[in-house]
Chain A
Amino acid sequence: MGFFAPLFLLGAIAVALPFWLHRLQTQSSLRQPFSSTMLLETTEQQVHVQKKLKYLVLLSLRVAVLLILALVFAKPFLPRPAAAPASGQEGTYLVLIDTSASMSRDGVFDRAVTAAYGAIESVPAGALIQVLDADDDVSRVSELSADKSMHRSAVSALGVSALRLDFGRMMTTIDRLAESLPPPVRLHVISDFQDSAMPARFADLVSSQVAEMIPHSVGMLPRFNRRIEYVRDNFDEVDIGIVAGAGAGATAARIELLLNDEAIDARVLSETGRATLQFSGLRPDVGDNRLTVRLDNDDDLAFDDQWFHVIENVPPAPIPLITLNDRGLPVKYLSAALESDAAYRVEPMLIGDADFRTLSRYRWAIVDDLASLDGEQAAALATFVQQGGSLFAFVGERAAGAERLPISGHVVRPTGVGAGPDEFMTVGQLDTRHPVLSRTEGWFNVNIRRNIAIDPLAGDQVLMRLENDVPLLIERRLGKGRLLMLTAGLDNRWNDLPIRPVFVGFIIEAARYLSGVDRVTKSFTAGDTLTLSLVEGASGQVLDPEGNAVLSLAGTTRAQQIKLNKPGYYEVYTPQEGYIVAVNTDPRESDLNTVATATLERWVRAMGGQAPTDGRVTSEFDPEPLELWHALIFLLALLVIGESMLGNANLTPLRKTLSSSH
């Protein structure tokens, strides 16, 4: 047994203290009844040092606690015995080849393939081999077999991807994979060992299932490289960030801008370091526009010389707002909230002038007071909803005198919230799972002075209730469409919702929900996944940058998580709309700095191998020692509990004595 901090063993000297304490006697234990203490006088307590120790069990516990405490601080360990492979069993050899984007440098992947051949040849005859490739995931390239020719063929078929390798995630996968392989498992890692691929925690690099790791570093010293770091657009302007690293062979670069595959501008950049180029006067078409930035220069990496970007030019969607007063407060509040998002434009429609037949042109509409509709208008709106439209309705003061709400059919109760100026309710329950409410906060600060009390009908989904359990926000399916109804008006006499921060977010989320269009991200990194949700039995289709359909016909009827592996533009078609997303290689793959030699040596040692020498490592198992402090802490806890109980038991008679003497 060894100690990581042996000086703490000096703490064991403290065991002298309980020995001393257990020799002290401060109180006589001889207690006798006496007729009267009237004539007696308390003698001053005397501390005696006894020759004999008292309470030996308690003393033993206390000494043990102190000794173990000193041991815990000294961090004892046991060296783990070396695990030799079982005689007659060769185990498994994994040959892992890094196929991440950085391996696409000139000559690097060829060296990797050569190293893989060498690794396969070095495996003893009869041992099992499996070839793996690793980018953002680890994949089996060949079956587990001792047939070396088969593995060589598998290696020759490998190519470089546009994805990023993370060593931490790689080792986690290897660890799981090695569990099912015949031990001992030895791992050949053939990679350029990018420093940017290292995980945040060193512990993530260590696998308990792999007996030895043999690294093959095939990277070369980084040469000059210039890369595009980012592209940001402001509709007709675009900023391009370019980074040129140090290194020999710096050359000027030509930056070319292509909008929808047409070259629109170009510049020459000769400076190295970080630079930002601004291009303006872009005239994107309506809808999604492909903006491709190309860097034409002679540098180390090719994949980071172009960047794919999508410029959105979507006109705001008109939203009919059906109202009795187009200059009223509800119209102002709703217009201000909706038009805070450039995607929406409010079109007020006076009820008397509105032609409800035109509603079919819109996806959804708003009514600021549902009870202001007459029977014919209500029927026209109901038909609009039945046929798939959505309606966002507020129930204002006109509903106070109605018996039943139009379209929804809810019966109006005579009593809502009290009409007194100082009486108000707040929100009591909130269904935060609903998309309209999931991203909004601050509902509990809203004061509701008046609302229309209704009882929910069968099929209603009550999304929000007041403190008195009266529904405040209800969603109801009507035919193919849906009705979202707030049982309060947007008059500041009824509530202070419009002046609360939650209002704008709520209206925008309701607009997205009712329009059926959610904001989608248009920029991805290679390896990300695109989610296609199922709407009305279809999820949609995706075309990859080469124009190939990603999903089969059956796949278009299921919700999908599509991995975006290739840099370029993916065309996405959903039941609601079609759009384009741009995919770029992770910029970290352009960082060609390699893992420090000391770090790599530490990694190899942690895995049970020797430090790499000339790119090749021989094996000798030297596992980490077994630390004992965990067990000692547990034992210490038990001893402390025992000491407390025993000490308490021993002190009880003394306490009785003391309490009776006072």
Chain B
Amino acid sequence: MAALQASQSSARELLRPEVLASLKNLDLVARSVVEGFLIGLHRSPTFGFSQEFAEYRAYSEGDDPRFIDWNVFARTERTYIKRFLGDTNSHLMILLDASASMGFGGPPVSKLRYGQFLAASLSFLASRQHDAVGCMVFDEQVRDYRAPSTRAGRLQSVLHCLDSAEARTGTKFDKPFEKFREQITRRGLVAVISDFYCDTTNLLAGVRPLAWQGQDVVLFQVLDDQELTPDFGGNVLLEDLESGRAVEVAPQFMRETYPERMRAHIDSLATAAAGIGADHVLVSTSDSLDQALRSYLMFRQRRQ
């Protein structure tokens, strides 16, 4: 029992951003996070996530032949697909915002790096569930794109795509989302990872068509602690990483008015997301990743 607790404690350590920051390989980060997360989840009664057998169904065109139960075929000469719990044959599309504002934060990690951890972990988790995984890195334009697939090597491709993202320029949701709608025809999960420093109305204009298309959207809003509860000793000239505009603010404003405005912004985003059937998850770069993964699984389970 003690050994089990020690193992769980060590696994949770792996979910902390400051620990993950020391890992350069995003693949390793994803494995560590998911493994740690799954160990912690092992005894959870809430989420039945395992590789337990669920049912057989007849093979139909388009199914992955790897899941054909060849023993049944040998006996019956019929092709059946072996299905497991949690295996919904779905696909996950991760949209990662790589605008300049995402470069803010840290130490230990910037918002973008945290988003990369989160995206990689989600990808790895989905891949373990045999979901097709794809990703799109965007800022004002679509910077990189991997179509969702369950093929071998796709996960590595997605992780490489995520790992190569760098924070630069501004953010616009309309063009990338429009491009995404053009590429995706099948329904699935869409995880948008961004700080969402934009007008809520504009954001909804981009997300709403996805909901209409039948996509299940979850908005991961990644913020740094300095954005949520800023702490400046005196007057400070803050320079916008995207526009370059500088604003001199007093500490009193940052202590009193700014948190209120930030809270109102987050609330409006959450309300708007709920209005179109999307989920909104606020994560701080100081939070361990299991909370985000847990939110994802809850969302996935709800969808099923």
Q: Is the CB of A657 within 8 A of B246?
A: yes
A31: chain B residues within 8 A (beta carbon): 236-237, 239, 246
Compute the total of residue contacts between A and B using a CB distance below 8 Å.
89
A36-B245 Cα distance, complex, nearest whole Å: 9
A546 contacts B by Cβ under 8 Å: no
A28-B234, A30-B237, A35-B111 given; A40·B197 CB < 8 A: no
Kindly report which residue of chain B lies nearest to residue A28, judged by CB atoms. B235
Give chain A interface residues in 610-662, CB to chain B under 8 Å.
657, 660-661
Give chain B interface residues in 106-135, CB to chain A under 8 Å.
111
B235: chain A residues within 8 A (beta carbon): 28, 30, 43, 46
B227 contacts A by Cβ under 8 Å: yes
Give chain B interface residues in 78-97, CB to chain A under 8 Å.
none
For B199-213 the 0/1 string (1 means CB < 8 A from A) is 000000000000000
B248 contacts A by Cβ under 8 Å: yes
Give the residue among B227, B247, B248 with the most A Cβ atoms within 10 A: B248
A33-B104, A37-B245 given; A43·B250 CB < 8 A: yes
A28-B238 Cα distance, complex, nearest whole Å: 10
Q: How far is the CB of B199 from chain A (nearest CB, A)?
A: 9
A588-B85 Cα distance, complex, nearest whole Å: 134
Q: Is the CB of B237 within 8 A of A37?
A: no
A27: chain B residues within 8 A (beta carbon): 248
Kindly report which residue of chain B lies nearest to residue A38, judged by CB atoms. B197
A28-B248, A45-B248, A661-B246 given; A37·B234 CB < 8 A: no
Please choose the segment from B37-45, B180-188, B254-262 that sits at the chain A interface, where 4 or more of its residues have CB less than 8 A away.
B254-262
Give chain A interface residues in 15-43, CB to chain B under 8 Å.
27-28, 30-43
A42-B250 Cα distance, complex, nearest whole Å: 8
Kindly report which residue of chain B lies nearest to residue A659, judged by CB atoms. B246
Kindly report which residue of chain A lies nearest to residue B237, judged by CB atoms. A31
A6-B261 Cα distance, complex, nearest whole Å: 64
Kindly report which residue of chain B lies nearest to residue A30, judged by CB atoms. B236
A37: chain B residues within 8 A (beta carbon): 238-240, 243, 245-247
Q: Is the CB of B248 within 8 A of A42?
A: yes
A28-B237, A43-B235, A660-B239 given; A35·B227 CB < 8 A: yes
Give chain A interface residues in 207-237, CB to chain B under 8 Å.
none
Give the residue among A35, A40, A45 with the most B Cβ atoms within 10 A: A35
Kindly report which residue of chain A lies nearest to residue B245, judged by CB atoms. A37
A27-B235 Cα distance, complex, nearest whole Å: 9
B242 contacts A by Cβ under 8 Å: yes
B153 contacts A by Cβ under 8 Å: no
For B147-167 the 0/1 string (1 means CB < 8 A from A) is 000000000000000000000
Kindly report which residue of chain A lies nearest to residue B261, judged by CB atoms. A39
B17 contacts A by Cβ under 8 Å: no
From the candidates A35, A41, A45, name the one contacting B101 in the complex (CB within 8 A).
A35
A42-B241 Cα distance, complex, nearest whole Å: 16
A36: chain B residues within 8 A (beta carbon): 101, 195, 197, 240-242
A32: chain B residues within 8 A (beta carbon): 232, 236-239
A657: chain B residues within 8 A (beta carbon): 237, 246
A40-B245 Cα distance, complex, nearest whole Å: 11
Q: Is the CB of B246 within 8 A of A660?
A: yes
A38-B268 Cα distance, complex, nearest whole Å: 15
Give the residue among A36, A38, A39, A660 with the most B Cβ atoms within 10 A: A36
Kindly report which residue of chain B lies nearest to residue A660, judged by CB atoms. B246
B237: chain A residues within 8 A (beta carbon): 28, 30-32, 657, 661
A41-B262 Cα distance, complex, nearest whole Å: 13
A36-B101, A36-B241 given; A43·B197 CB < 8 A: no
A39-B195 Cα distance, complex, nearest whole Å: 13
A38-B245 Cα distance, complex, nearest whole Å: 10
Q: Is the CB of B224 within 8 A of A35?
A: yes
Q: Is the CB of A41 within 8 A of B247?
A: yes
A40-B237 Cα distance, complex, nearest whole Å: 11
A661-B244 Cα distance, complex, nearest whole Å: 8
User: A interface, how many residues as a size bin?
Assistant: 20 to 34
B298 contacts A by Cβ under 8 Å: no
Q: Is the CB of A40 within 8 A of B258?
A: yes
Q: Is the CB of B245 within 8 A of A35?
A: no
A37-B240, A39-B262, A660-B244 given; A30·B234 CB < 8 A: yes
B274 contacts A by Cβ under 8 Å: no
Q: How far is the CB of B235 from chain A (nearest CB, A)?
A: 4
Kindly report which residue of chain A lies nearest to residue B242, judged by CB atoms. A36
A446-B13 Cα distance, complex, nearest whole Å: 104
B247: chain A residues within 8 A (beta carbon): 37, 40-42, 661
A211-B236 Cα distance, complex, nearest whole Å: 72
Kindly report which residue of chain B lies nearest to residue A44, judged by CB atoms. B250
A27-B105 Cα distance, complex, nearest whole Å: 25
Q: Is the CB of B257 within 8 A of A34?
A: no
A28-B234, A45-B248, A657-B246 given; A34·B241 CB < 8 A: yes
A660-B253 Cα distance, complex, nearest whole Å: 21
Q: Is the CB of A35 within 8 A of B239?
A: no
Q: Is the CB of B242 within 8 A of A41?
A: no
A38: chain B residues within 8 A (beta carbon): 197, 240
B265 contacts A by Cβ under 8 Å: yes
Q: Is the CB of A35 within 8 A of B265?
A: no
B249 contacts A by Cβ under 8 Å: yes
Q: How far is the CB of A56 from chain B (nearest CB, A)?
A: 22
A43: chain B residues within 8 A (beta carbon): 235, 248-250, 253
Kindly report which residue of chain A lies nearest to residue B110, judged by CB atoms. A35
A45: chain B residues within 8 A (beta carbon): 248
Q: Is the CB of B224 within 8 A of A41?
A: no
Kindly report which residue of chain A lies nearest to residue B235, judged by CB atoms. A28
Q: How far is the CB of B263 from chain A (nearest CB, A)?
A: 10
Q: How far is the CB of B198 from chain A (nearest CB, A)?
A: 8
B261: chain A residues within 8 A (beta carbon): 39
Q: How far is the CB of A284 from chain B (nearest CB, A)?
A: 99
A40: chain B residues within 8 A (beta carbon): 238, 247, 249, 253, 258
Give the residue among B246, B247, B253 with the most A Cβ atoms within 10 A: B246
Q: Is the CB of A41 within 8 A of B236?
A: no
B262: chain A residues within 8 A (beta carbon): 39
A576-B234 Cα distance, complex, nearest whole Å: 101
A382-B253 Cα distance, complex, nearest whole Å: 108
Q: How far is the CB of B303 from chain A (nearest CB, A)?
A: 31
A661-B239 Cα distance, complex, nearest whole Å: 8
A41-B265 Cα distance, complex, nearest whole Å: 15
B224: chain A residues within 8 A (beta carbon): 35
From the candidates A33, A39, A42, A661, name the one contacting B258 in the complex (CB within 8 A).
A39
Q: What are 29 A-B contacts defined by CB distance under 8 Å?
A: A28-B235, A28-B237, A31-B246, A32-B232, A32-B237, A32-B239, A33-B238, A34-B104, A34-B239, A35-B101, A35-B111, A35-B224, A36-B197, A36-B241, A37-B238, A37-B240, A37-B245, A38-B197, A38-B240, A40-B253, A40-B258, A41-B257, A42-B247, A43-B235, A43-B250, A46-B250, A660-B244, A660-B245, A661-B245
A-B complex: 3 closest residue pairs judged by Cβ atoms: A35-B104, A34-B238, A36-B197
14 additional A-B pairs beyond A35-B104, A37-B240, A657-B246, beta carbons within 8 Å, are A30-B236, A31-B237, A32-B238, A34-B238, A36-B241, A37-B246, A39-B262, A40-B238, A40-B258, A41-B247, A43-B250, A45-B248, A660-B245, A661-B248
Contact surface of B with A, Cβ cutoff 8 Å: 101-102, 104-105, 111, 195, 197, 224, 227, 232, 234-250, 253, 257-258, 261-262, 265
